Structure 1
């Protein structure tokens, strides 16, 4: 990821409403969530949700697909990981104190791992 891409992504997340929408979709997991349910879960009008979803999708943080009459939004976790990697690596380059502080933070706050679904027999 380059700086310009990171700025677009950070802009997309730098609004309380968009951040709330993004968090809602992250919590929905890999199956994603329909646009109407996203709006309801955040207590916002459909047109406001649509604007937030459009900005987040345009930044590459979300992907969308149609399922019947609904549009389902999912987090693009590989893109999100690229953003986090950029922030961790590029922004802490040659700064041992920052790298150590981040390492300590993540050691104390391990990422939760979603349970793996058992294969159907």
Structure 2
């Protein structure tokens, strides 16, 4: 992921409603959710939801597909993983961590001093 793409993605989720929408879509998994369910679960008015979904889509964090007369929105897991990789690329002085949960300040301190 390029720096410009990371900035766009981070800017998109740096807003309370968009972060909530993205997290809800991550929880929904690949099946995704229709807009009315997102609106219902997060109590976001449809007109506001439309704006937020457009911003998340523009940043590449969500995708939409048509199913009959409904649009189903899903988190773009590839972009999410690319962003996480970008943020942790040089974690612990470039030493690979076994998982994101093992990247702690203590682990980084011992990696740098080793």
Name the SS for the 2:89 alignment partner.
helix
Aligned positions of 1:38-117 closer than 5 A: 38-90=38-90, 92=91, 96=93, 106-107=101-102
**Structure 1 partner of 2:106:** none
CA RMSD, 1 decimal: 2.2
Q: Which runs of 5+ in 1 are unaligned?
A: 109-121
**Structure 2 partner of 1:13:** 13
**TM-score of the aligned structures, taking structure 1 as reference length:** 0.76
CA deviations 1:37-93 (Å, max 9, x no partner) are 111110010011111111101111111011111110011101110010000005x4x
State how far apart, in whole Å, the 1-side matches of 2:13 and 2:99 are.
25
1:99 is displaced (CA, Å) by: 6.4
**Structure 1 partner of 2:3:** 3
Change (3 A) 1:29 1:60: same
CA deviations 1:91-115 (Å, max 9, x no partner) are x4xx53x968x7686138xxxxxxx
Q: Which runs of 5+ in 2 are unaligned?
A: 104-114
**Structure 2 partner of 1:27:** 27
Name the SS for the 1:18 alignment partner.
helix
